[in-house]
A and B are shown apart, each in its own frame.
Chain A
Amino acid sequence: MTGVSSSPDRPDAPQHRAQRALLRAGDHDAFGRLFADHADEVFSLALRLTGLRAVAEDVTSEVYLVAWRRRHTVELSDLPLRSWLLAIAARQAMNATRGIRRRRSFLHSGRARPGVVADFADETAGRLDDARLLERTRAAMAALTRPELEVVTLCVWSELTYAEAAEALGVPVGTVRSRLNRARRRLRTLTAGPDPAPTPPSTRPAPAPTNPRGHR
Protein backbone atom coordinates (compact mmCIF):
# COMPACT_ATOMS: atom_id res chain seq x y z
CA MET A 1 0.00 0.00 0.00
CA THR A 2 1.32 3.40 -0.79
CA GLY A 3 -0.64 5.01 1.98
CA VAL A 4 -1.44 7.90 -0.32
CA SER A 5 -5.13 8.05 -0.88
CA SER A 6 -6.09 11.53 0.13
CA SER A 7 -4.51 14.87 0.77
CA PRO A 8 -6.95 17.14 2.52
CA ASP A 9 -4.75 20.17 1.96
CA ARG A 10 -5.42 20.11 -1.78
CA PRO A 11 -8.39 22.31 -2.55
CA ASP A 12 -8.95 20.62 -5.91
CA ALA A 13 -8.96 17.13 -4.44
CA PRO A 14 -12.71 16.52 -4.91
CA GLN A 15 -12.42 17.49 -8.57
CA HIS A 16 -9.59 15.04 -9.10
CA ARG A 17 -11.61 12.34 -7.44
CA ALA A 18 -14.59 13.13 -9.65
CA GLN A 19 -12.43 13.03 -12.79
CA ARG A 20 -11.05 9.68 -11.72
CA ALA A 21 -14.53 8.30 -11.12
CA LEU A 22 -15.70 9.52 -14.53
CA LEU A 23 -12.77 8.02 -16.37
CA ARG A 24 -13.14 4.78 -14.48
CA ALA A 25 -16.76 4.61 -15.56
CA GLY A 26 -15.67 5.00 -19.20
CA ASP A 27 -16.88 8.57 -19.63
CA HIS A 28 -15.86 9.70 -23.12
CA ASP A 29 -15.76 13.38 -22.24
CA ALA A 30 -13.46 12.75 -19.31
CA PHE A 31 -11.14 10.86 -21.64
CA GLY A 32 -11.33 13.64 -24.21
CA ARG A 33 -10.38 16.20 -21.57
CA LEU A 34 -7.45 14.04 -20.50
CA PHE A 35 -6.23 14.14 -24.08
CA ALA A 36 -6.82 17.86 -24.58
CA ASP A 37 -5.14 18.79 -21.31
CA HIS A 38 -2.11 16.56 -21.32
CA ALA A 39 -1.29 15.29 -24.80
CA ASP A 40 1.41 17.95 -25.25
CA GLU A 41 3.02 17.04 -21.98
CA VAL A 42 2.91 13.35 -22.74
CA PHE A 43 4.55 14.04 -26.09
CA SER A 44 7.31 16.11 -24.45
CA LEU A 45 8.00 13.39 -21.93
CA ALA A 46 8.16 10.77 -24.66
CA LEU A 47 10.46 12.95 -26.74
CA ARG A 48 12.82 13.43 -23.81
CA LEU A 49 13.08 9.73 -23.23
CA THR A 50 13.18 8.56 -26.83
CA GLY A 51 14.89 11.47 -28.57
CA LEU A 52 12.89 10.95 -31.75
CA ARG A 53 9.80 12.91 -32.64
CA ALA A 54 8.31 10.13 -34.75
CA VAL A 55 8.64 7.70 -31.84
CA ALA A 56 7.23 10.27 -29.43
CA GLU A 57 4.21 10.55 -31.72
CA ASP A 58 3.59 6.82 -31.63
CA VAL A 59 4.15 6.67 -27.91
CA THR A 60 1.65 9.46 -27.29
CA SER A 61 -1.13 7.64 -29.15
CA GLU A 62 -0.20 4.42 -27.40
CA VAL A 63 -0.22 6.05 -23.95
CA TYR A 64 -3.81 7.18 -24.41
CA LEU A 65 -4.85 3.83 -25.77
CA VAL A 66 -3.32 2.12 -22.74
CA ALA A 67 -4.96 4.70 -20.46
CA TRP A 68 -8.34 3.91 -21.98
CA ARG A 69 -7.84 0.16 -21.66
CA ARG A 70 -6.73 0.52 -18.05
CA ARG A 71 -9.38 2.97 -17.01
CA HIS A 72 -10.83 0.36 -14.64
CA THR A 73 -7.62 0.31 -12.65
CA VAL A 74 -7.69 4.02 -11.84
CA GLU A 75 -7.73 4.43 -8.10
CA LEU A 76 -10.37 6.70 -6.61
CA SER A 77 -7.88 8.97 -4.91
CA ASP A 78 -7.62 12.76 -4.63
CA LEU A 79 -4.49 13.05 -6.74
CA PRO A 80 -4.65 14.48 -10.27
CA LEU A 81 -5.00 12.02 -13.12
CA ARG A 82 -2.02 13.72 -14.72
CA SER A 83 0.42 11.75 -12.55
CA TRP A 84 -1.26 8.45 -13.44
CA LEU A 85 -1.07 9.35 -17.11
CA LEU A 86 2.55 10.50 -17.01
CA ALA A 87 3.58 7.30 -15.26
CA ILE A 88 2.03 5.34 -18.14
CA ALA A 89 3.84 7.66 -20.54
CA ALA A 90 7.22 7.11 -18.91
CA ARG A 91 6.79 3.38 -19.05
CA GLN A 92 5.53 3.31 -22.62
CA ALA A 93 8.36 5.58 -23.76
CA MET A 94 10.92 3.34 -22.09
CA ASN A 95 9.27 0.29 -23.60
CA ALA A 96 9.39 1.87 -27.03
CA THR A 97 13.08 2.54 -26.77
CA ARG A 98 13.79 -0.78 -25.18
CA GLY A 99 11.78 -2.76 -27.70
CA ILE A 100 13.75 -1.52 -30.65
CA ARG A 101 17.00 -1.25 -28.74
CA ARG A 102 17.00 2.37 -29.61
CA ARG A 103 17.70 3.55 -26.15
CA ARG A 104 21.06 1.93 -26.12
CA SER A 105 22.13 3.25 -29.49
CA PHE A 106 20.58 6.60 -28.77
CA LEU A 107 22.30 6.92 -25.45
CA HIS A 108 25.65 5.37 -26.17
CA SER A 109 26.38 6.37 -29.72
CA GLY A 110 24.21 9.38 -30.27
CA ARG A 111 26.86 10.92 -32.48
CA ALA A 112 26.53 8.01 -34.87
CA ARG A 113 22.82 8.64 -35.18
CA PRO A 114 22.41 11.97 -36.89
CA GLY A 115 18.64 11.71 -36.77
CA VAL A 116 18.65 11.76 -33.01
CA VAL A 117 20.84 14.78 -32.73
CA ALA A 118 18.96 16.51 -35.47
CA ASP A 119 15.67 16.15 -33.68
CA PHE A 120 16.99 17.83 -30.60
CA ALA A 121 19.28 20.19 -32.46
CA ASP A 122 16.26 21.78 -34.06
CA GLU A 123 14.98 22.66 -30.66
CA THR A 124 18.23 23.92 -29.28
CA ALA A 125 19.07 26.38 -32.05
CA GLY A 126 22.42 24.78 -32.64
CA ARG A 127 24.19 26.57 -29.84
CA LEU A 128 27.38 24.96 -28.70
CA ASP A 129 26.32 25.03 -25.06
CA ASP A 130 23.15 23.24 -25.97
CA ALA A 131 25.01 20.60 -27.89
CA ARG A 132 27.26 20.01 -24.90
CA LEU A 133 24.32 19.92 -22.59
CA LEU A 134 22.57 17.42 -24.78
CA GLU A 135 25.66 15.26 -24.94
CA ARG A 136 25.97 15.34 -21.19
CA THR A 137 22.31 14.67 -20.61
CA ARG A 138 22.44 11.68 -22.89
CA ALA A 139 25.41 10.22 -21.03
CA ALA A 140 23.71 10.88 -17.71
CA MET A 141 20.49 9.14 -18.77
CA ALA A 142 22.52 6.11 -19.76
CA ALA A 143 24.04 5.95 -16.29
CA LEU A 144 20.67 5.43 -14.61
CA THR A 145 18.73 2.24 -14.18
CA ARG A 146 15.27 2.10 -15.61
CA PRO A 147 13.48 2.66 -12.27
CA GLU A 148 15.80 5.55 -11.48
CA LEU A 149 15.29 7.23 -14.84
CA GLU A 150 11.57 6.72 -14.37
CA VAL A 151 11.42 8.66 -11.10
CA VAL A 152 13.78 11.32 -12.42
CA THR A 153 11.52 11.76 -15.43
CA LEU A 154 8.43 12.03 -13.27
CA CYS A 155 9.66 13.91 -10.20
CA VAL A 156 12.36 16.11 -11.68
CA TRP A 157 11.34 16.75 -15.26
CA SER A 158 7.58 16.58 -14.91
CA GLU A 159 7.63 17.81 -11.30
CA LEU A 160 5.30 15.28 -9.75
CA THR A 161 5.30 15.21 -5.97
CA TYR A 162 6.71 12.13 -4.25
CA ALA A 163 3.19 11.12 -3.28
CA GLU A 164 1.91 11.47 -6.83
CA ALA A 165 4.80 9.52 -8.28
CA ALA A 166 4.48 6.85 -5.60
CA GLU A 167 0.81 6.32 -6.25
CA ALA A 168 1.21 6.40 -10.00
CA LEU A 169 4.03 3.85 -9.90
CA GLY A 170 2.45 1.69 -7.23
CA VAL A 171 5.45 1.89 -4.92
CA PRO A 172 5.85 3.34 -1.42
CA VAL A 173 6.87 6.99 -1.12
CA GLY A 174 10.14 5.91 0.47
CA THR A 175 11.00 3.96 -2.66
CA VAL A 176 10.58 7.05 -4.81
CA ARG A 177 12.83 8.96 -2.46
CA SER A 178 15.50 6.29 -2.38
CA ARG A 179 15.48 5.92 -6.17
CA LEU A 180 15.99 9.67 -6.52
CA ASN A 181 18.83 9.53 -4.02
CA ARG A 182 20.46 6.66 -5.86
CA ALA A 183 20.07 8.54 -9.13
CA ARG A 184 21.69 11.61 -7.60
CA ARG A 185 24.61 9.63 -6.21
CA ARG A 186 25.17 7.94 -9.54
CA LEU A 187 25.03 11.19 -11.46
CA ARG A 188 27.45 12.86 -9.02
CA THR A 189 29.93 10.07 -9.59
CA LEU A 190 29.52 10.61 -13.29
CA THR A 191 30.15 14.35 -13.19
CA ALA A 192 33.07 13.86 -10.82
CA GLY A 193 34.68 11.90 -13.64
CA PRO A 194 37.59 13.00 -15.85
CA ASP A 195 35.58 15.17 -18.18
CA PRO A 196 33.40 17.52 -16.15
CA ALA A 197 30.79 19.45 -17.99
CA PRO A 198 31.96 22.90 -18.95
CA THR A 199 28.54 24.49 -18.88
CA PRO A 200 27.12 25.52 -15.52
CA PRO A 201 23.80 23.76 -15.82
CA SER A 202 21.89 26.05 -13.52
CA THR A 203 22.11 28.86 -16.06
CA ARG A 204 19.72 26.98 -18.25
CA PRO A 205 16.09 27.46 -17.22
CA ALA A 206 14.08 24.33 -16.88
CA PRO A 207 11.53 23.97 -19.64
CA ALA A 208 8.20 24.58 -18.06
CA PRO A 209 5.73 21.74 -18.18
CA THR A 210 3.21 22.42 -20.88
CA ASN A 211 0.50 22.48 -18.29
CA PRO A 212 0.88 24.00 -14.85
CA ARG A 213 0.37 21.69 -11.93
CA GLY A 214 -3.10 21.27 -10.72
CA HIS A 215 -4.52 22.30 -14.05
CA ARG A 216 -7.10 19.84 -15.17
Chain B
Amino acid sequence: MTAPEQTLHDLLPAPVTTSPTAPERDRIEARLREGLRHQARREQRATAWRERAGAVAAPGVVLACLGAVVTLTVLVAGSPAPESGSAQRVRPVVAAPLAVQVLDRASRNAARRDVTPPAPGELLYARSIVRSNEGRYGGPVQLAGRHVREIWLSQEDGPTQDLGLIREFGQDWPIRSGGPVPAGPARPTYGYLASLPTDPDELLDALESQLAPWDDARTRDQVVFDQIASLMGEVAAPPDVTAALFQALTRIPGVQVEAGARDLLGRPGVGLTRTDGVFLTRDVLILDPRTGEVIGTRSYMDGPQGETLYGATALVQRGTARRAGEPPVPPADAPRATSAAGRA
Protein backbone atom coordinates (compact mmCIF):
# COMPACT_ATOMS: atom_id res chain seq x y z
CA MET B 1 0.00 0.00 0.00
CA THR B 2 1.45 3.38 -0.92
CA ALA B 3 1.79 6.24 1.48
CA PRO B 4 -1.40 8.23 0.91
CA GLU B 5 -3.62 5.19 1.33
CA GLN B 6 -1.69 4.04 4.35
CA THR B 7 -2.25 7.39 6.03
CA LEU B 8 -5.84 7.52 4.92
CA HIS B 9 -6.37 4.04 6.20
CA ASP B 10 -5.22 5.18 9.61
CA LEU B 11 -7.22 8.36 9.46
CA LEU B 12 -10.38 6.69 8.21
CA PRO B 13 -10.39 2.95 8.80
CA ALA B 14 -13.09 1.03 7.01
CA PRO B 15 -16.05 0.29 9.23
CA VAL B 16 -16.04 -3.40 9.96
CA THR B 17 -18.68 -5.28 8.07
CA THR B 18 -19.74 -8.83 7.46
CA SER B 19 -21.10 -10.50 4.40
CA PRO B 20 -24.85 -10.68 3.96
CA THR B 21 -26.47 -13.48 5.91
CA ALA B 22 -28.30 -16.19 4.00
CA PRO B 23 -31.74 -14.54 4.42
CA GLU B 24 -30.28 -11.17 3.41
CA ARG B 25 -28.73 -12.71 0.34
CA ASP B 26 -32.01 -14.38 -0.56
CA ARG B 27 -33.82 -11.08 -0.36
CA ILE B 28 -31.14 -9.35 -2.44
CA GLU B 29 -31.48 -12.02 -5.12
CA ALA B 30 -35.28 -11.96 -5.03
CA ARG B 31 -35.35 -8.19 -5.43
CA LEU B 32 -32.82 -8.32 -8.23
CA ARG B 33 -34.83 -10.96 -10.09
CA GLU B 34 -37.97 -8.89 -9.70
CA GLY B 35 -36.10 -5.82 -10.97
CA LEU B 36 -34.76 -7.69 -13.98
CA ARG B 37 -38.25 -8.98 -14.81
CA HIS B 38 -39.57 -5.45 -14.57
CA GLN B 39 -36.78 -4.27 -16.84
CA ALA B 40 -37.60 -6.93 -19.41
CA ARG B 41 -41.28 -5.93 -19.33
CA ARG B 42 -40.29 -2.31 -19.84
CA GLU B 43 -38.29 -3.26 -22.91
CA GLN B 44 -41.24 -5.22 -24.28
CA ARG B 45 -43.57 -2.30 -23.65
CA ALA B 46 -41.14 -0.03 -25.45
CA THR B 47 -41.34 -2.25 -28.51
CA ALA B 48 -45.12 -2.31 -28.39
CA TRP B 49 -45.15 1.45 -27.91
CA ARG B 50 -43.08 2.00 -31.03
CA GLU B 51 -45.43 -0.12 -33.07
CA ARG B 52 -48.46 1.72 -31.77
CA ALA B 53 -46.90 5.13 -32.30
CA GLY B 54 -46.30 4.16 -35.89
CA ALA B 55 -50.00 4.31 -36.60
CA VAL B 56 -50.43 7.95 -35.62
CA ALA B 57 -49.36 10.88 -37.71
CA ALA B 58 -48.99 14.40 -36.39
CA PRO B 59 -48.92 17.82 -37.95
CA GLY B 60 -45.57 19.38 -38.50
CA VAL B 61 -46.70 22.88 -37.60
CA VAL B 62 -45.79 22.39 -33.99
CA LEU B 63 -42.24 21.66 -34.70
CA ALA B 64 -41.12 25.07 -35.72
CA CYS B 65 -42.13 26.25 -32.27
CA LEU B 66 -40.11 23.67 -30.43
CA GLY B 67 -37.04 25.70 -31.15
CA ALA B 68 -33.48 25.05 -32.15
CA VAL B 69 -33.04 21.70 -33.70
CA VAL B 70 -36.31 19.88 -34.15
CA THR B 71 -37.00 19.73 -37.82
CA LEU B 72 -38.80 16.50 -38.36
CA THR B 73 -42.39 15.58 -38.59
CA VAL B 74 -43.55 12.58 -36.72
CA LEU B 75 -43.19 9.19 -38.25
CA VAL B 76 -45.57 7.93 -40.87
CA ALA B 77 -45.03 4.25 -40.50
CA GLY B 78 -43.19 2.53 -37.74
CA SER B 79 -41.42 -0.69 -38.32
CA PRO B 80 -41.26 -3.37 -35.67
CA ALA B 81 -38.11 -3.03 -33.65
CA PRO B 82 -35.91 -6.01 -32.91
CA GLU B 83 -37.60 -8.09 -30.23
CA SER B 84 -34.64 -9.45 -28.41
CA GLY B 85 -31.81 -7.83 -26.56
CA SER B 86 -29.31 -8.53 -29.30
CA ALA B 87 -28.84 -6.03 -32.09
CA GLN B 88 -29.71 -7.32 -35.50
CA ARG B 89 -26.68 -5.72 -36.98
CA VAL B 90 -23.77 -4.10 -35.30
CA ARG B 91 -22.79 -0.91 -37.00
CA PRO B 92 -19.19 0.15 -37.40
CA VAL B 93 -17.88 3.13 -35.48
CA VAL B 94 -17.30 5.72 -38.16
CA ALA B 95 -17.19 9.15 -36.52
CA ALA B 96 -13.87 11.00 -36.42
CA PRO B 97 -11.50 9.29 -33.93
CA LEU B 98 -11.36 12.25 -31.57
CA ALA B 99 -15.13 12.48 -31.68
CA VAL B 100 -15.38 8.82 -30.75
CA GLN B 101 -13.20 9.42 -27.69
CA VAL B 102 -15.28 12.38 -26.64
CA LEU B 103 -18.53 10.52 -27.26
CA ASP B 104 -17.35 7.48 -25.32
CA ARG B 105 -16.52 9.61 -22.36
CA ALA B 106 -19.72 11.61 -22.61
CA SER B 107 -21.61 8.35 -22.78
CA ARG B 108 -19.97 6.98 -19.66
CA ASN B 109 -20.48 10.20 -17.75
CA ALA B 110 -24.07 10.50 -18.89
CA ALA B 111 -24.74 6.97 -17.71
CA ARG B 112 -23.60 7.91 -14.23
CA ARG B 113 -25.71 11.01 -13.90
CA ASP B 114 -28.72 11.11 -11.64
CA VAL B 115 -31.85 12.03 -13.55
CA THR B 116 -35.11 12.44 -11.72
CA PRO B 117 -38.00 11.71 -14.06
CA PRO B 118 -40.69 14.37 -14.10
CA ALA B 119 -43.60 13.50 -11.81
CA PRO B 120 -46.95 12.78 -13.45
CA GLY B 121 -48.46 16.01 -14.73
CA GLU B 122 -45.24 17.99 -14.43
CA LEU B 123 -43.72 19.87 -17.33
CA LEU B 124 -40.08 19.99 -18.22
CA TYR B 125 -38.55 23.41 -17.73
CA ALA B 126 -35.42 24.89 -19.28
CA ARG B 127 -33.97 28.38 -19.16
CA SER B 128 -31.46 29.51 -21.75
CA ILE B 129 -29.57 32.63 -22.65
CA VAL B 130 -29.96 33.12 -26.38
CA ARG B 131 -28.63 35.22 -29.22
CA SER B 132 -30.44 34.76 -32.46
CA ASN B 133 -30.34 36.05 -35.98
CA GLU B 134 -32.74 38.95 -36.38
CA GLY B 135 -31.59 39.77 -39.90
CA ARG B 136 -34.03 39.61 -42.78
CA TYR B 137 -34.52 36.49 -44.79
CA GLY B 138 -31.89 36.50 -47.52
CA GLY B 139 -30.10 39.44 -45.93
CA PRO B 140 -26.93 39.45 -43.88
CA VAL B 141 -26.86 37.92 -40.41
CA GLN B 142 -27.67 40.39 -37.68
CA LEU B 143 -27.10 38.86 -34.30
CA ALA B 144 -29.36 40.45 -31.73
CA GLY B 145 -28.30 40.93 -28.14
CA ARG B 146 -28.66 38.30 -25.49
CA HIS B 147 -32.05 37.52 -24.11
CA VAL B 148 -33.58 34.91 -21.84
CA ARG B 149 -35.68 32.13 -23.23
CA GLU B 150 -37.72 29.87 -21.00
CA ILE B 151 -39.55 26.83 -22.17
CA TRP B 152 -42.06 24.51 -20.54
CA LEU B 153 -42.71 21.25 -22.35
CA SER B 154 -45.64 18.97 -21.63
CA GLN B 155 -44.56 15.46 -20.67
CA GLU B 156 -48.01 14.03 -21.36
CA ASP B 157 -47.38 10.85 -23.30
CA GLY B 158 -50.85 10.58 -24.76
CA PRO B 159 -52.08 12.80 -27.60
CA THR B 160 -52.49 16.41 -26.54
CA GLN B 161 -52.81 19.82 -28.16
CA ASP B 162 -51.23 21.84 -25.36
CA LEU B 163 -47.59 21.13 -25.84
CA GLY B 164 -46.15 23.77 -23.58
CA LEU B 165 -45.07 27.37 -23.49
CA ILE B 166 -42.17 29.53 -24.57
CA ARG B 167 -41.45 32.78 -22.72
CA GLU B 168 -39.24 35.00 -24.77
CA PHE B 169 -39.05 38.71 -25.63
CA GLY B 170 -41.28 39.47 -22.65
CA GLN B 171 -44.15 37.48 -24.01
CA ASP B 172 -45.69 34.07 -23.52
CA TRP B 173 -46.04 31.97 -26.62
CA PRO B 174 -48.16 28.90 -25.94
CA ILE B 175 -47.18 25.90 -28.02
CA ARG B 176 -50.41 24.55 -29.40
CA SER B 177 -50.85 22.16 -32.25
CA GLY B 178 -53.69 21.94 -34.72
CA GLY B 179 -54.54 18.46 -33.54
CA PRO B 180 -53.61 16.13 -30.73
CA VAL B 181 -49.97 15.07 -30.91
CA PRO B 182 -48.76 11.97 -29.09
CA ALA B 183 -45.31 11.82 -27.57
CA GLY B 184 -42.79 10.63 -30.12
CA PRO B 185 -39.67 11.56 -32.02
CA ALA B 186 -41.07 15.01 -32.77
CA ARG B 187 -42.29 15.54 -29.23
CA PRO B 188 -39.71 13.70 -27.17
CA THR B 189 -41.14 13.41 -23.67
CA TYR B 190 -39.28 11.62 -20.91
CA GLY B 191 -41.68 8.73 -21.38
CA TYR B 192 -40.90 8.49 -25.08
CA LEU B 193 -37.16 8.64 -24.45
CA ALA B 194 -37.45 6.01 -21.71
CA SER B 195 -39.10 3.72 -24.24
CA LEU B 196 -36.10 3.81 -26.56
CA PRO B 197 -33.61 0.94 -26.64
CA THR B 198 -30.44 1.40 -24.62
CA ASP B 199 -28.30 -0.51 -27.07
CA PRO B 200 -26.80 2.01 -29.51
CA ASP B 201 -27.32 -0.12 -32.61
CA GLU B 202 -30.91 -0.93 -31.71
CA LEU B 203 -31.42 2.70 -30.84
CA LEU B 204 -30.26 3.81 -34.27
CA ASP B 205 -32.49 1.19 -35.88
CA ALA B 206 -35.42 2.52 -33.88
CA LEU B 207 -34.72 6.18 -34.65
CA GLU B 208 -34.26 5.48 -38.34
CA SER B 209 -37.45 3.46 -38.49
CA GLN B 210 -39.26 6.43 -36.95
CA LEU B 211 -37.86 9.06 -39.31
CA ALA B 212 -40.53 10.90 -41.19
CA PRO B 213 -39.82 11.64 -44.82
CA TRP B 214 -38.00 14.95 -45.07
CA ASP B 215 -38.61 17.24 -47.98
CA ASP B 216 -35.29 19.04 -47.99
CA ALA B 217 -32.04 17.92 -49.51
CA ARG B 218 -30.32 16.80 -46.34
CA THR B 219 -28.62 13.44 -46.39
CA ARG B 220 -30.01 10.65 -44.28
CA ASP B 221 -26.95 10.83 -41.99
CA GLN B 222 -27.57 14.51 -41.38
CA VAL B 223 -31.23 13.93 -40.62
CA VAL B 224 -30.36 11.24 -38.10
CA PHE B 225 -27.72 13.49 -36.53
CA ASP B 226 -30.21 16.34 -36.27
CA GLN B 227 -32.76 14.03 -34.71
CA ILE B 228 -30.33 12.79 -32.07
CA ALA B 229 -29.28 16.37 -31.35
CA SER B 230 -32.93 17.24 -30.80
CA LEU B 231 -33.15 14.52 -28.16
CA MET B 232 -30.38 16.06 -26.08
CA GLY B 233 -31.00 19.73 -25.43
CA GLU B 234 -34.03 20.97 -23.54
CA VAL B 235 -35.28 17.46 -22.88
CA ALA B 236 -34.74 14.89 -20.16
CA ALA B 237 -33.94 11.25 -20.74
CA PRO B 238 -32.98 8.33 -18.51
CA PRO B 239 -29.19 8.18 -18.13
CA ASP B 240 -28.81 4.94 -20.03
CA VAL B 241 -30.73 6.30 -23.01
CA THR B 242 -28.59 9.45 -23.12
CA ALA B 243 -25.52 7.23 -22.90
CA ALA B 244 -26.79 5.19 -25.86
CA LEU B 245 -27.53 8.37 -27.86
CA PHE B 246 -23.88 9.39 -27.51
CA GLN B 247 -22.78 5.92 -28.59
CA ALA B 248 -25.19 6.08 -31.53
CA LEU B 249 -23.48 9.28 -32.72
CA THR B 250 -20.22 7.35 -33.10
CA ARG B 251 -21.96 5.30 -35.81
CA ILE B 252 -22.70 8.35 -37.97
CA PRO B 253 -20.05 9.37 -40.48
CA GLY B 254 -18.87 12.95 -40.40
CA VAL B 255 -19.48 13.64 -36.72
CA GLN B 256 -16.64 15.79 -35.50
CA VAL B 257 -15.33 17.36 -32.35
CA GLU B 258 -14.61 21.02 -31.93
CA ALA B 259 -12.10 21.46 -29.14
CA GLY B 260 -12.25 24.61 -27.06
CA ALA B 261 -15.91 25.27 -27.81
CA ARG B 262 -17.62 27.76 -25.53
CA ASP B 263 -21.27 28.40 -25.02
CA LEU B 264 -22.82 31.84 -25.17
CA LEU B 265 -21.71 32.60 -21.60
CA GLY B 266 -18.18 31.55 -22.39
CA ARG B 267 -18.37 28.34 -20.40
CA PRO B 268 -15.92 25.89 -21.91
CA GLY B 269 -17.07 22.56 -23.22
CA VAL B 270 -16.56 20.11 -26.00
CA GLY B 271 -18.33 20.81 -29.26
CA LEU B 272 -19.92 18.07 -31.32
CA THR B 273 -20.86 18.94 -34.83
CA ARG B 274 -21.61 17.70 -38.31
CA THR B 275 -21.52 19.88 -41.38
CA ASP B 276 -24.58 19.67 -43.51
CA GLY B 277 -23.11 19.51 -47.00
CA VAL B 278 -26.26 20.84 -48.62
CA PHE B 279 -27.13 23.98 -46.70
CA LEU B 280 -23.58 24.56 -45.48
CA THR B 281 -24.85 25.18 -42.02
CA ARG B 282 -23.81 23.38 -38.93
CA ASP B 283 -25.01 23.21 -35.38
CA VAL B 284 -22.55 22.61 -32.58
CA LEU B 285 -23.75 20.88 -29.46
CA ILE B 286 -21.59 22.00 -26.56
CA LEU B 287 -21.20 19.40 -23.84
CA ASP B 288 -19.97 19.65 -20.31
CA PRO B 289 -17.20 17.07 -20.61
CA ARG B 290 -17.65 15.98 -17.00
CA THR B 291 -21.34 15.20 -17.16
CA GLY B 292 -22.01 14.70 -20.85
CA GLU B 293 -24.79 17.24 -20.47
CA VAL B 294 -25.56 19.72 -23.24
CA ILE B 295 -24.78 23.21 -21.92
CA GLY B 296 -25.34 25.17 -25.09
CA THR B 297 -25.39 25.32 -28.87
CA ARG B 298 -23.89 27.37 -31.65
CA SER B 299 -25.07 27.60 -35.23
CA TYR B 300 -22.85 28.57 -38.14
CA MET B 301 -23.41 29.13 -41.81
CA ASP B 302 -20.67 28.96 -44.37
CA GLY B 303 -20.28 31.77 -46.86
CA PRO B 304 -17.74 33.45 -49.12
CA GLN B 305 -16.14 35.21 -46.14
CA GLY B 306 -15.94 32.04 -44.09
CA GLU B 307 -18.20 30.89 -41.34
CA THR B 308 -20.70 33.23 -39.77
CA LEU B 309 -22.22 32.65 -36.37
CA TYR B 310 -25.95 33.02 -36.66
CA GLY B 311 -27.12 31.78 -33.29
CA ALA B 312 -25.85 30.72 -29.90
CA THR B 313 -27.39 29.54 -26.65
CA ALA B 314 -26.35 28.69 -23.12
CA LEU B 315 -28.60 26.40 -21.14
CA VAL B 316 -28.49 27.72 -17.61
CA GLN B 317 -31.24 25.90 -15.75
CA ARG B 318 -33.23 22.73 -16.07
CA GLY B 319 -36.02 21.48 -13.90
CA THR B 320 -39.66 20.55 -13.77
CA ALA B 321 -42.68 22.74 -13.16
CA ARG B 322 -46.21 21.93 -12.11
CA ARG B 323 -47.82 24.27 -14.66
CA ALA B 324 -46.72 26.01 -17.79
CA GLY B 325 -45.40 29.47 -16.97
CA GLU B 326 -44.72 28.67 -13.32
CA PRO B 327 -41.21 28.66 -11.91
CA PRO B 328 -39.57 25.26 -11.65
CA VAL B 329 -40.14 23.10 -8.60
CA PRO B 330 -37.12 23.16 -6.32
CA PRO B 331 -35.52 19.73 -6.22
CA ALA B 332 -37.00 17.58 -3.48
CA ASP B 333 -33.55 16.73 -2.31
CA ALA B 334 -30.81 18.87 -0.87
CA PRO B 335 -30.07 21.79 -3.19
CA ARG B 336 -27.54 20.82 -5.75
CA ALA B 337 -25.59 23.05 -8.10
CA THR B 338 -26.74 22.55 -11.66
CA SER B 339 -24.24 20.35 -13.32
CA ALA B 340 -23.81 22.91 -16.07
CA ALA B 341 -22.41 25.31 -13.51
CA GLY B 342 -20.12 22.57 -12.32
CA ARG B 343 -18.19 22.13 -9.17
CA ALA B 344 -15.32 24.56 -8.87
Contact = CB atoms under 8 A, between A and B. Distances in A.
Most chain A CB atoms below 10 A, which of B10, B28, B29, B32: B28
B258 interface: no
Interface of B: 1, 4-5, 7-20, 24-25, 27-29, 31-32, 35-36, 39, 85-86, 101, 104-105, 107-109, 111-112, 114, 198-200, 239-240, 243-244, 247, 333-334, 343
Interface in A196-216: 201-202, 204, 206-207, 210
Given A65-B35, A98-B334, A91 B112 contact: yes
A43 B112 CA distance: 20
Contacts of A157: 14
Nearest to B238: A69
Q: DSSP class of A's interface residues: helix, strand, loop or mixed?
A: helix
Interface in A121-173: 123-124, 130, 133-134, 137, 140-141, 144, 147, 152, 155-157, 159, 170
14 contacts: A60-B28, A61-B32, A61-B35, A65-B39, A68-B39, A72-B200, A75-B108, A123-B18, A140-B11, A170-B108, A184-B8, A187-B8, A206-B14, A207-B17
B96 to A, nearest CB: 15
A137 B1 CA distance: 20
Contacts of B31: 57-58, 61
Interface string A170-201: 10000001001101100110110000000001
A141 B27 contact: no
Contacts of A210: 19
A51 to B, nearest CB: 8
Given A57-B28, A69-B198, A72-B240, 11 more contacts: A43-B28, A47-B15, A65-B32, A68-B36, A73-B108, A130-B16, A133-B13, A140-B11, A156-B14, A181-B4, A184-B7
A44 B5 contact: no
A25 B29 CA distance: 22
Given A72-B244, A73-B107, A170-B112, A137 B13 contact: yes
Nearest to B14: A157
Nearest to A70: B111
Contact of B20 (A40, A73, A141): A40
Given A68-B36, A187-B11, A207-B14, A180 B5 contact: yes
A152 B25 CA distance: 26
Contacts of A152: 8, 12
Contacts of B5: 155-156, 159, 180
Give 5 nearest A-B pairs by CB, closest first.
Answer: A61-B31, A187-B11, A157-B14, A65-B35, A40-B19
A207 B25 CA distance: 20
Given A68-B36, A72-B247, A39 B25 contact: yes
Nearest to B90: A25
* B interface majority secondary structure: helix
A25 B8 CA distance: 38
B244 A137 contact: no
A55 B101 CA distance: 37
Given A35-B32, A120-B15, A202 B20 contact: no
A43 B15 CA distance: 13
Contacts of A99: 333
A95 interface: yes
Given A26-B86, A57-B27, A70-B243, A95 B114 contact: yes
Given A39-B25, A65-B32, A170-B105, A72 B11 contact: no
B12 A43 contact: no
B14 A180 contact: no
A1 B15 contact: no
B334 A137 contact: no
A70 B112 CA distance: 9
Nearest to A122: B18
Contacts of B240: 69-70, 72-73
Contacts of B198: 69, 72
A48 B14 contact: yes
Contact of A140 (B12, B18, B114): B12
Nearest to B10: A201
A60 B20 contact: yes
A62 B111 CA distance: 15
Contact of A184 (B11, B20, B112, B243): B11
B150 to A, nearest CB: 28
A152 B12 CA distance: 9
Contacts of A95: 114
Nearest to A51: B15
